[in-house]
Chains A and B, each alone.
Chain A
Amino acid sequence: MARINLILLALLTACALGLVTSQHKARKLFAELEREQERAKQLDVEWGQLQLEQSTWAMHARVQKIARERLRMSVPDATRTQVVSQPAPAGAVR
């Protein structure tokens, strides 16, 4: 009788310790998850800011100005443009 009790006691202690350990592990993992989610949110914010920056730099007015003034480019006028119709019936070029 006493032996069974002792075995049960040992079993109970082991289970209790196991529970404590797994709970601790779960919390640690959860904290990590939380951190990563926070990081994801941060990155999301940063992505938004980068998008904003990109579209600010790429504003057509700015691109046009730089192309025209700094790179001395210009829109080719219609006489210097050749339009190639795409699904060309027998390579018709207009």
Chain B
Amino acid sequence: MNYAASPVLALRLPLWRSRMLLALIAGGFLVLAGRALYLQGLNNDFLQQKGESRYSRVLEISANRGKITDRHGEALAISTPVKSVWAIPEEVQFSSQQRAKLAALLELPPREIDKRLNESTSFVYLKRQIPPQVAERVSELHIAGLFQNREYRRYYPGGEVMAQVLGFTGADDVGQEGIELAFQSTLAGKSGSRRVIKDRMGQIVEDTESIREAQNGRDLALALDAKLQNLAFSQLKLAVEANKARAGAIVVVDAKTGEVLALANLPTYNPNNRSRLSGAQLRNRVITDTFEPGSTLKPFTVALAIEQGKVTPDSVIATAGGSFSIGRATVHDAHHFGNMTVAQVIQRSSNVGAAKIALGLPAEAMWNMFDSVGFGSAPRLGFPGEAGGRLRPYKSWRPIEQATMAYGHGISVSLLQLARAYTVFAHDGELMPLSLLRVDAPLLGKQVISPSTARKLRDMLELAVQPDGTAPRARVMGYRVAGKTGTAHKEENGGYAAHKYVSSFVGLAPASDPRLVVAVMLDEPSAGQYYGGAVAAPVFSAVMGGALRMLGVPPDAPLKPLELPPDGSEIKEDV
């Protein structure tokens, strides 16, 4: 049929009908154009976002926690990546064979796995921090609903030897104790992120922007010397075991720079396996525990008296009789030697002598002396829980208290404070600031007493380790050693415990030009001996001798074998 001949064409329809149709269609297009404009131009954020989410991903860039090394760069704490295996319990499907393999790989009993997967949560850790090789074998099992994520685990190759100094990090790689906590902000890395375009296969095809650069944590070089630390720890351990002590602590300080070269505590723990820990194991006694030091404080009293011109090393103190009353209280000496010179008071550790010297001094000056060598205030190393000890204001001192403080009672200090205070004698009167981190430029000390007084005290302290002093066992062959013993009753329930002692020894060597200060403390030695000279001095001698040799310090004394007095015959100090 011919189109042109169609009768429809011949119809004459009203014009408005075609116009209306035109208007309707045009209107439709207008709406479409408007919508298109709206979606693509005015309000396109939503769609853009949806589109991008199909191909663009934000990736996390992980950052490493910094290493901790000793002063020679030997690694003491390193983080390495490990995997944690987690599951969505509802989605987990595995055959019993897979289950057995999984249990074997994770070293968990199969029942434990079932128990965890039956928990009504949507997320459960099966095992955290497993080695990457094991994790790979787990993923080869292809178990649905089982996932892994990357974590860091910190390893401490030194183990128990320096556990309390380094501390440890938690499962989230955040420091919880020790150096790890103190320098958390330095060590911690900041993870970054970047936006990338991924293709259908999940491969990255383009880097679109870097949102945040990842920042690795900075490495930390400690002042510790791993070799010295090991020596100090092993000697301390021998002594704690031999003397059946409840605890022990030792610190080795470089007298020239104030660096802490070794710092060990017992009891200790293995930071790589912290399943059972007690507070006693965790405590860094050197820094956080205080005790009444006893006779190790006498040199400070004597130093002040010499500074003030009240006595000289040869002044005679009336110590005859061996006891001395102040009010209702009496100060005793265990041995009676008649009158002693000031030097002999130190050498034989006479309480009466120290008390008499102290009573000739103004309380304020004594307080200032103790304060200026750092007692009563925390040493500000930045270590968590640093103890400041107790030094009461001098206005509240009664004469008997001033007298007992002269020989280290009624005042408490930490072993670290004690070691630091002795840098005054080692460094010609300057108190050195201590540092746990390696110091490249020597720090400035603070002059507390004059160099000549410091030298006089060093000579007196040298007498104390001679055969007629309190600590002949502290001597080291080939070196001149100076030091002081301390033995004090432990405080308990507000009084002194009768048969519990803290034995200590603080000393320096070589006396001609001191290089090291070593302080040793043993808590409740209970194998019979408890005098500092018998318990702590041998540890000092072994550590000091080994350390000086390791550091290559030239000997300053003739190399003659030392003659030790027979057991128990040395002069006992007063407790």
Contacts and interface: CB of A to CB of B under 8 A. Distances in A.
Interface of A: 27, 30-31, 34, 44-45, 48-49, 51-52, 54-56, 58-61, 64, 75, 77-79, 81, 83, 85, 94
B207 interface: yes
A81 B453 CA distance: 34
Interface in B189-243: 203-207, 226-227, 230-231, 234
A34 to B, nearest CB: 5
Interface of B: 64, 67, 74-76, 78-81, 132, 155, 157-159, 161, 203-207, 226-227, 230-231, 234, 477-478, 545-546, 549, 552, 554-555, 559, 561
B151 to A, nearest CB: 13
Contact of A83 (B78, B161, B230, B554): B554
Contacts of A31: 203-205
Given A60-B227, A83-B554, A48 B205 contact: no
B163 to A, nearest CB: 14
Given A48-B80, A52-B157, A59-B157, A94 B554 contact: yes
A48 B203 CA distance: 27
Nearest to B552: A83
B226 A52 contact: no
B157 A56 contact: yes
A34 B155 contact: no
Interface centre among A55, A77, A79 (most CB of B within 10 A): A55
Given A31-B205, A52-B80, A78 B157 contact: no
A92 to B, nearest CB: 11
A81 B559 CA distance: 10
Contacts of B227: 60
25 contacts: A27-B205, A31-B203, A34-B204, A45-B80, A48-B79, A51-B78, A52-B75, A52-B157, A55-B75, A55-B78, A55-B158, A59-B157, A60-B227, A60-B230, A61-B161, A61-B230, A64-B230, A75-B546, A77-B477, A78-B545, A78-B549, A78-B559, A79-B559, A81-B549, A83-B554
A90 to B, nearest CB: 16
A93 to B, nearest CB: 11
Contacts of A81: 478, 549
Contacts of B155: 52
A30 B204 contact: yes
A30 B206 CA distance: 7
B4 to A, nearest CB: 37
Nearest to A61: B230
Nearest to A51: B75
Nearest to A45: B81
Contacts of B203: 31, 34
Contacts of B555: 78, 83, 94
Contacts of B157: 52, 55-56, 59
Contacts of A83: 552, 554-555
Given A59-B157, A60-B226, A78-B478, A52 B554 contact: no
